[in-house]
Amino acid sequence: MKALVIHAAKDLRLEDRPDPAPGPGQVLLRLATGGICGSDLHYVNHGGFGAVRLKEPMILGHEVSAHVEALGEGVTGLIPGQLVAVSPSRPCGSCKFCHEGLPNHCLDMRFYGSAMPFPHVQGAFRQLLVADPSQCVDATGLTPGEAAMAEPLAVTLHATRRAGEMLGARVLVTGCGPIGLLSILAARRAGATEIVAADLSDYTLGLARQIGADKVVNLRSDPDGLAPYGAGKGHFDVLYECSGAQPALVAGIAAMRPRGVVLQLGLGGDMSLPMMMLTAKELDLRGSFRFHPEFATGVALMQQGLIDVKPLISHTIELADAASGFDLASDRGRAMKVQIRF
């Protein structure tokens, strides 16, 4: 089989690897589609992000859909040929956080394509993948591209759950990459009545408007575009901060009304916070990291036509051209979600 392997920054290779076989209680999957994520781009462009660095070659990828190829002994509930969305999240189920109902904080998490532990957790950008049946969510009725969007959608659904009550909320989204745009869709589905999106790119803001943002603000051409929302102690009830950039976080906090909720999704590294403003406004700062039960929820919402991710899929690249796909995905002026057809 072919696999996409990152060896170091700017050293991405399409390599031959042995075909795997499923053991008892496992399922063999033939990859259909894989989406290029921001973390994949960090590995390819920079060799990692923050303190997380590549220490050995690693297969990339965690946003994937696949067709069931074969079932290991004892596996039921799946049918060869069936399209499934594949959750990259494999918590151990036995640590204290798993027992407390916090599997996304598992102490022995095996998350596809992650250099956080060593040895690294090999990813899913390979033609054949052995998985646990519990990772496979039936995606009947979806395209392979839609099914591969279940993972980033789950990230934003988890953040929306962290926000609490959303009915009637006024929402600000800073950073309009795939996570920011999916946050718009999740917030609207949860009952937000006003959504404002802020970014530095007219291309991404145009997509934000297309999928339902009520207003967009380009902070490159209008650096003070959010300032009017700071009048009268602020306007927004919920902030989805999806850029990981300190200026966006600071501007967003200034636009928040007292006792609003700030959701930090962007992973841009450590940032300084305007603590006096957080304190005086009695704001809740809530981190949001990965997901677990929200993965299957996202698939169901797409199947029921309640969330439409198709406008976000801007390009689909063949596996042989994957390197050009990563170049394209790095250009936020031309591409949103670039997917690889396996």
Domains of the chain from N-terminus onward? 2-149+309-341 (3.90.180.10), 154-287 (3.40.50.720)
pLDDT digits (tens, 9 = 90+) for 269-301: 788 899 999 999 999 999 999 999 999 999 999
Which ranges of the chain does DSSP label H, i.e. alpha helix? Answer: 38-46, 96-99, 144-147, 150-163, 178-189, 202-210, 246-254, 275-280, 294-303, 322-329
Q: What percent of the chain has pLDDT over 70?
A: 100
pLDDT above 90 for 307: yes
- Please state the rounded mean pLDDT for residues 11-20: 97
pLDDT attached to residue 271: 86
* Residue found by looking up tokens 């380009």 in the block: 218
Tens of pLDDT, residue by residue over 33-83, are 999 999 999 999 999 988 889 999 999 999 999 999 999 999 999 999 999
For 202-246, how does the pLDDT look when each residue is reduced to its tens digit (9 = 90+)?
A: 999 999 999 999 999 999 999 999 999 999 999 999 999 999 999
User: Model pTM?
Assistant: 0.95
Residue 268 scores a pLDDT above 80: no
pLDDT confidence of residue 332: 84
